[in-house]
Structure formats: C-alpha cells, structure tokens
Amino acid sequence: MEAAGPVSTGGKFVVVGGGIAGVTCAEQLAIQFPSEDILLVTASPVIKAVTNFKQVSKVLEEFDVEEQPKTMLENRFPNIKIIESGVKELKSKEHCIVTGDGSQHVYKKLCLCTGAKPKLICEGNPYVLGIRDTDSAQEFQKQLTKAKRIMIIGNGGIALELVYEIEGCEVIWAIKDKAIGNTFFDAGAAEFLTSKLTAEKPEGRIAHKRTRYTTEGKKKETQTTAGIGSMGSALGPDWHEGLNLKGTKEFSHKIHIETMCEVKKIFLQEEFRISKKKSSPFPRDHSNQSVTTDNEVWPVYVELTNEKIYGCDFIVSATGVTPNTEPFLCGNNFALGEDGGLKVDAYMHTSLSDVYAAGDICTASWQPSPVWQQMRLWTQARQMGWYAAKCMAAASLGESIDMDFSFELFAHVTKFFNYKVVLLGKYNAQGLGSDHELMLRCTKGQEYVKVVMQHGRMMGAVLIGETDLEETFENLILNQTDLSSYGEDLLDPNIDLEDYFD
Ligand SMILES: Cc1cc2nc3c(=O)[nH]c(=O)nc-3n(C[C@H](O)[C@H](O)[C@H](O)COP(=O)(O)OP(=O)(O)OC[C@H]3O[C@@H](n4cnc5c(N)ncnc54)[C@H](O)[C@@H]3O)c2cc1C
Ligand SMILES: NC(=O)C1=CN([C@@H]2O[C@H](COP(=O)(O)OP(=O)(O)OC[C@H]3O[C@@H](n4cnc5c(N)ncnc54)[C@H](O)[C@@H]3O)[C@@H](O)[C@H]2O)C=CC1
C-alpha cells in the first residue's frame, strides 16, 4: 500500500532509534558532516545520551547514561534534526522510510537502531511482566508494592539483578540450568555469589566502578510514554537504583530457587480452582518461618516442568530479548541471524544496499576476533553505533576503514549482588571445546577470579570483587602472551603481575 503524505527529498543520513546505538551513530555522523543535516527518527520522546565517557583501559570503558529530552541533543548538534515518530515501513528499493503519520523520508544511507523487545514466556497474560524501559520498570515497582510473592523466570542479567534487589517479598526463582546466572557465570562463580542471597540484611554498598543509568534531573515531561508493547528505549546499568523494589513485608531476601525446570502451564485463579491441582507452600528456610500461609489464594499459579506448582501475585519473565526488526521486514529481503537480528557484516552493513544496523537489533555476522562475541549490552550498542557512523561516512566518501579496536576483545564491567564484575574475552570458555583449562582463585565474600587458558594463552577471565586485575589480564589476552612457564603463579596474590608483564 502506498503511504500518502509528504515526501522529504534530498537523501540524508537517516538514523532510526533514540537509544544508545542510534544517538551515538547520529552524533558521530553530525561531527563528521557538520554541514549536512542528519535525521534521527525515534518513537520515544526521550533519547539516551552517553555522558562522562571514560576509556578505562584499551577496551574497558565506563560511562553514565542519561535520558534527555530530544531538544538537548538538537542543541548540542544543530545539524541533527529529530522526528518523534515510529517508523512503520522501509521501502529499501526507493531508499525511503515511512513514519507513523505517513511521511516519507528519503535516505542516502540509513542506520537502523531500534533495539530489541522482551521475549516473554506468555504474551498477553496480564500477570506476566517483562522489564525493558522506564515505564515497564515502574509498572513492575507498582505491582511489587502490593505483592507477597512473585515468581521470576529466566537466568540472565535481569533475573540476577532482581533477585538481589527485591526485599519484603517472597521470590520463587525458576531457572532452566543447574546454577544461577548462566549467561554470565559458571557454577563456581554462582556458588560464590549465592551466599549473598541468604544474608539477612542487605549490606552497605561498596564503591564500584560501573556504568550508571541515571535519570537525575529528568523532568516529568521527558518521561517516555511508551510501554512494553510499544517502543521505549532499553534500560541499562543501575536501572533499578531509583526504584524502591520492596514488597509488602519487612525482610530482606526470601528466595527459593527451582533449578533445571521451565514453565509448563500458567493458571489464573479460577482455572486453578477448577483444575483441583495442589500448589506447594513457600519452602521454609533455616528459621522455619514462612511469611505466607499454606492456604493463600493467589491471582495466578505456575506449574513447572518438575511438576511443582506455586501460586504468586505475578510473574516476571526475564527470558531474553528479540531484535525489534518487525517494521522493516515487509517487502525487504533482509538476511536474518538465528536470533532474528538483522545480519551485519564487518562494516555494520546489512544485506540491503545502503542500510546499516547497530545495537540490539543487529546480529554480528563477521568473522569475529577469537576473543570477542556479541552480547546485547549497553557498551556494545555504543561501540556499534559509533563504528556504524564511521562506516557510513567512509562508504559515502569512498574511503576504506578498519574494524574498530573495541571488537578485538569482549569486555564488560557490571555489578551483580553488589560485587563489581568484569568479564573478558571467552570468559565462560564459549566455543573453546574441551581443549582448555581453568585456573581459580577465590576468597569467600571477597573475590572470585577465574581465568580460561588454552595452549598456555589466556583466552578469557571472570573477575568478581575489587581484584584490580582487569588491565593486566586485558593485555595478556590481547597480546596472547605465552604464559605456560608461570603455571599457577599467574593467580598467586603475592605476586605482582604488573611487574611481570607491564
Ligand atoms: C532491565 C535491563 C537492564 C539492563 N542492564 C544492562 C547493564 O547493566 N549493562 C549493559 O551493558 N546492558 C544492560 N542492558 C542492555 C542494554 O540496555 C541494551 O543492550 C541497550 O540499551 C541497547 O541499545 P539500543 O540503542 O540498541 O536499543 P534501545 O535502547 O532499545 O533503543 C531503541 C530505540 O529505538 C526506538 N524505536 C523502536 N522502534 C522504533 C520504530 N519503529 N521507529 C522509530 N523508533 C523506534 C525506541 O524508542 C528507542 O529509542 C539492560 C537491559 C534491560 C532491559
Ligand atoms: N548487568 C548487565 O550486564 C545486565 C544486562 N542485561 C541485558 O539486558 C537484556 C535482557 O536481559 P534478560 O531478559 O535477563 O536476558 P538474558 O539474555 O541475559 O537472559 C535470558 C535468560 O532466560 C532464560 N530463558 C530463555 N527462555 C526461557 C524460557 N522459555 N524459560 C525459562 N528460561 C528461559 C535463558 O536461559 C537465560 O538464562 C540482555 O541483553 C542482557 O544481557 C540485563 C540486565 C543486566
């Protein structure tokens, strides 16, 4: 169907999406082409801006992320023009996009940065919540204030952060795996962290270096009106910091973990009553105290594949994301990755002419460095947005460009259970087969250091706590230094590794 509406001509650089990937891409294009107008089309009234960017080492970076009204970006870069509208169609043959009001915008080069949306276990069930943007996080907080028990499904970043932050509410955490946090850790690290969940009182915050999600100074009118089903930007580092994640009761953690199971069926209250099935009470801990009685009637019940059934006030589906490609697929023959993302080559170029993609929407399909992998993270969204702009500029100027250094080594700094966590390279021996060794150093309650070695070379590392090892290990992985002669000394805390290798 032809979209009626005004057509803007001229062929600009056009970026779709006001998250970190899109904003970084638009900013970089605006810097490179100061006399050209850059068009940024985004569905949400606020944009995500990187502030206080700091390159901590060769690849590790720290920054804050701020939600800002779009005018702030336009003021900073007068050649960026922002249109607040959801793109509903891409006509790649005509080189134009169609926005919500039917307007068409012709591009010479286009970068798609529309992120991803939560992949929920059960779409459309009002008792199943996903967390993606400011609105969905606030909705979750609102529901939590009335809750006595919730169920969390999933074992990735969101689940890990939630189980630690939630207080005053029983949490049943159902995971497919044997140990917690499988996207980030192995079982050893999981065990190191699990002790924190049984601590009665949340301890004081330790100082940590981590990218921070901030809404400081955010005015009410800048808040997104987009919900889960619509198109707000993904939250990011420390997204829960401003939220009071407290249920109805006065206690810190009350978590029961059900391992190696998935959701079999979800029953609403009446359905459950009719089914005549029996639900389990919350398993009692060492104090033998339970907050809820065995006879509670719950709004929703979850039957797990291990046959256990628990009632709860609502369910959080923290089960990963799906790239937000939907508006662009109709009539366009994009090559898609297995995860549904737009495949991009080493120049962030999709399979369609002059169409680039960056951030959560894309699937990196180049031959990666042996110690890099894609993960849908804040840092990679920034790096990809920046590099996509460089590639778009190089292509339009007929110049060549080398792959950005940030793709040489996977590096992620975050915080779980109040510990600083640094992940480097093939930190979980991803794709290394059985031909690798692990070295460990662990001091309970303080630090957990794991390195992944292959043929005497360091391929990856997990650093939990204030280990101060990240820069040295980053260099060892990047340089592929032969470490065979050092053996276990590599992790000896009495040896200053920097003296050895710097
Ligand atoms: C709860 C939560 C916690 C997280 N914590 C961390 C963390 O601690 N560390 C970390 O590194 N990463 C974290 N992430 C992941 C990180 O937030 C994302 O990887 C990153 O924000 C992706 O950026 P993006 O620019 O690709 O997409 P998004 O930030 O999702 O931005 C997409 C943009 O596209 C716009 N859009 C969507 N559809 C359309 C359309 N049709 N037309 C126009 N515009 C459209 C949206 O409005 C939005 O502005 C977290 C994610 C979540 C959900
Ligand atoms: N600190 C950090 O770095 C954080 C990063 N994030 C990022 O935000 C995005 C969204 O986070 P998550 O939803 O936690 O995704 P995720 O990809 O980190 O984890 C998804 C989890 O859900 C599980 N899962 C998938 N389908 C399931 C099913 N049907 N039943 C049961 N379990 C299932 C997977 O095994 C995996 O454990 C991710 O890209 C994540 O990396 C989120 C929070 C914190």
Q: What is the CATH number of the domain that holds 137?
A: 3.50.50.60
Do the domain assignments include residue 212?
no
Tell me which residue has its CA closest to atom 4 in ligand 2.
157
> Does ligand 1 come within 6 angstroms of the Cβ of 426?
no
> Does ligand 1 come within 6 angstroms of the Cβ of 341?
no
Do residues 145 and 256 share a domain? yes
Amino acid 183 reads T
Do residues 149 and 198 share a domain? yes
> Does ligand 1 come within 6 angstroms of the Cβ of 323?
no
Q: Is the pLDDT of residue 287 over 80?
A: no
> Does ligand 1 come within 6 angstroms of the Cβ of 414?
yes
Could you tell me if 39 and 13 are in contact, meaning their C-beta atoms sit under 8 angstroms apart?
yes
Tens-place pLDDT, residues 177-215: 999 988 888 888 988 888 777 654 444 443 333 333 433
Q: State pTM to two decimals.
A: 0.90
For residue 470, the domain's CATH number is 3.30.390.30
Tell me which residue has its CA closest to atom 24 in ligand 2.
319
Q: What are phi and psi of 471, to 5 degrees?
A: -70, -45
In terms of average pLDDT, the best of 136-140, 371-375, 413-417, 496-500 is 371-375
Distances (CA, A) of 463 to 171, 247, 447: 27, 32, 8
Do the domain assignments include residue 397?
yes
Lowest mean pLDDT among 49-53, 231-235, 353-357, 404-408: 231-235
- Output the CA 132–ligand 2 centroid distance in Å: 11
What integer pLDDT is reported at residue 292 of this predicted model?
75
Instruction: Count the domains in the chain.
Output: 3
Do residues 443 and 468 share a domain? yes
Do residues 161 and 296 share a domain? yes
What integer pLDDT is reported at residue 313 of this predicted model?
96
Q: Is the pLDDT of residue 307 over 90?
A: yes
> What stretch of H or E contains 477?
helix 470-479
Do residues 54 and 188 share a domain? no
Q: Which residues does ligand 2 sit against, CB inside 6 Å? A: 121, 153-159, 161, 176, 182-183, 262, 318-321, 375-377, 414
Ligand index nearest the alpha carbon of residue 50: 1
Do residues 102 and 124 share a domain? no
**3-state SS class at 351:** coil
- Output the CA 201–ligand 1 centroid distance in Å: 32
Tens-place pLDDT, residues 46-84: 999 998 888 888 888 888 888 899 999 999 999 999 999
> Does ligand 1 come within 6 angstroms of the Cβ of 17?
yes
Residues spanned by the domain of 168:
120-205+242-317
| Residue where a domain terminates, one of 265, 298, 317 | 317
What separation, in Å, do the N-terminal and C-terminal C-alpha atoms of the chain show?
63
Do residues 337 and 471 share a domain? no
Do the domain assignments include residue 477?
yes
ipTM: 0.98
Describe the crossing of helices 20-32 and 378-397 by its angle, rounded to 10 degrees: 30
Do the domain assignments include residue 96?
yes
Do residues 449 and 313 share a domain? no
Do residues 144 and 249 share a domain? yes
DSSP 8-class letter at 282: P
